[in-house]
Structure 1
């Protein structure tokens, strides 16, 4: 992700944006103004000065430029308080659009949104590589084709796509957009950001899917207003994201949050984990279904996570026992992480985590009560298509700060 603006993982807290005095100052300060207008609604210029800490002259100059570019609109006058009513300006979410892409192991979802992450048009494709000898290339070409078609469609409207962000189930280098490790896609050391930029002619950011889930919940969902949050995504695999001090913590190599590789016992040290990690081999959906098969002689063809949840809710003995094991493993993981990190909130998301939150959340709370010094709040994720919303937010940060193209 090679842009001049602050990376998303450094700006999860939107209550106050950092400013700068170096050559990137205008871009950073523009982002600070736009974020305030996005989150707080129409503001007077004096309120923008007070919130951002910028000088009156700087705010006036940047606001005038943003009005010229269409990103900011005149919004009337404030109610009089004895003097001349203050001029109000507001954010114009329809001035530009962005493209968000969410990649799964067998599907691609794409959406063009405005600058408030409201969907304008969307498209989804199922991916079945079949006998293709190069499934990684096949998957990339399908992604690029879907993205190009959405960009082309948006070009016929009043707000063409200005930036792109991609959610990937793997380890991503945040500074380059290179996918280092995404085994479900058979992508290893793939320069996805650069390849898409070349194909689309647009700036592209690439990020881990759980980090984008956390970004979406931080800005729109269960984690709004929080500063220290652990988000855990339960699905085919298990991943996590850390928001610390209001910003996303990615680690030295961008791989923080690979919680699926948590080792849960001494026996875990004698087993290599080249694919699924120890935790996700137990509480990922494949692991849960394997546990069910050990307890049940004949599961119907196509038995999946929804069927498992249905049995657990109905009190089925085998499903209830497996769910209890999942709760124990998940409680050990959350308890250890909470003791180390002291988050104020744990959010359970992902396809299975969100669907099973009503069962998992109270059960984990009970298991951890009295076992660790400070038990964090635990809740289920709120948002459907959270990764897509997070990708839109990431692209919005890039598009809103970029200058308008010459006309």
Structure 2
């Protein structure tokens, strides 16, 4: 008996709709213009693999809505001068937001991640030391203020992206867990979209740090990179074959939960992980207090900057804690490098970048001769890497989405 039409349809392989194909083609063309600068139409045909007719049609459409501009003509070498076009980075604005344990930073950028407006807000923790209860409201208020700022200019905000210190579901923008914020199963993307009336993308902060360093910083031109961020928490991000690797549930890189020894199996870690509890800011300060027990107590407000100042001055307790920190980091990076074989390891995050001059050479010495292939190590190059990464995430969407 012949197979019914609806049954055949169920077994037919999925195909791209005309709209999907146009979106893919537009993305390819704009990516080329964003990365290569002004191009002739024949160069766009050559480098994108699209037909001449498709390139002509897309360029005309993108020129009409302002995302592509005329850039003159090529200098002729015997033939006719060719038309040049370029990407218009000022056609739209995006909003990048970066969330820390006690602060929120935001920036409106153009489509090349150049910041044109910025705001920052510090939030004091609650009486129990936990994050302020109104953290989301503060985030939404700061975002709303920046959207209003941008609306006064020629390019209102088109897309929003948020950097979060936690595990994020990439398909929904839901924050699965962010211990430093006490956020669990929070539909952050949906809540912000409802508040702002704009599309919102949410991503892990270390993934965005890695994206920023890949496109603008220490990892430019690299294809296999491990980025390790040290701060209040500890996280990592993988770039494999030039692309961010998220893992099956988007939780790849939670290196703070690395178990460092048999004793690690005896204690549950309901919030911060084993490695995180040792080399995160709280762990470093706890080690300093332990080393100072019975002697002069640490002054009120002592923080990671004070620790680094003492370590650089040769303070006995700080030097000993730094050595322990180097050992824990070396074990973690060495094991990860043996498994993944990255060509580069980037140390970032607030503490990691500030301490890179101490940590990078010390970890290199510790691992020399202990693993088969020692990757290059360096500190992160960008001061506002999470903001830049969030801007790039928003730009990827804003640059290619039709008006």
Shorter-chain TM-score: what band? over 0.9
Query: Which ranges of structure 2 fall in alignment gaps of 5 or more residues?
Result: 1-15
SS in 2 for 1:185: coil
Match of 1:166 in 2: 162
Match of 1:350 in 2: 349
Match of 2:393 in 1: 394
Range 288-297 or range 93-102, more displaced = 288-297
Match of 1:371 in 2: 370
Match of 1:385 in 2: 384
1:225 to 196, 221, 246: 221
SS in 2 for 1:158: coil
1:94 counterpart = 2:90: yes
Deviation readout 1:253-294 (Å, 9 max, x if unpaired): 111111001001111111111111111111111111111111
- 8 Å contact 1:234–1:348 — kept in the other structure? yes
2-structure distance, mates of 1:299, 1:321:
16
- 8 Å contact 1:96–1:115 — kept in the other structure? yes
> Structure 1 pair 130/370, CA: closer, same or farther in 2 (3 Å)?
closer
> Structure 1 pair 381/126, CA: closer, same or farther in 2 (3 Å)?
same
Match of 1:243 in 2: 239
> Structure 1 pair 230/135, CA: closer, same or farther in 2 (3 Å)?
closer
1-structure distance, mates of 2:182, 2:156:
32
1-structure distance, mates of 2:188, 2:95:
15
- Alpha-carbon deviation of 1:385? 1.0
Deviation readout 1:141-160 (Å, 9 max, x if unpaired): 11111111111111111100
Deviation readout 1:186-217 (Å, 9 max, x if unpaired): 21111111111111111110000000000000
Match of 1:64 in 2: 60
The Cα RMSD (Å) is: 1.5
2-structure distance, mates of 1:152, 1:200:
10
2-structure distance, mates of 1:32, 1:46:
15
Once the two structures are superposed, the pairs formed by residues 79-228 of structure 1 within 5 Å of their partners are 79-128=75-124, 130=126, 138-228=134-224
Match of 2:264 in 1: 268
Deviation readout 1:160-206 (Å, 9 max, x if unpaired): 00000000111100000001101221211111111111111111100
Match of 1:12 in 2: none
2-structure distance, mates of 1:162, 1:315:
50
SS in 1 for 2:121: strand
Deviation readout 1:231-274 (Å, 9 max, x if unpaired): 00001110000001111111111111110010011111111111
- Alpha-carbon deviation of 1:381? 0.1
Structure with bigger gyration radius: 2
- Taking structure 1 as the reference length, what is the TM-score of the superposition? 0.92
- Taking structure 2 as the reference length, what is the TM-score of the superposition? 0.93
Report how many aligned residue pairs link the two structures.
Answer: 384
Which 4+ residue blocks in structure 1 deviate beyond 2 angstroms?
Answer: 20-23, 128-132, 134-137
Query: Which ranges of structure 1 fall in alignment gaps of 5 or more residues?
Result: 1-19
Match of 2:24 in 1: 28
- 8 Å contact 1:129–1:139 — kept in the other structure? no
2-structure distance, mates of 1:355, 1:21:
49
- 8 Å contact 1:96–1:399 — kept in the other structure? yes
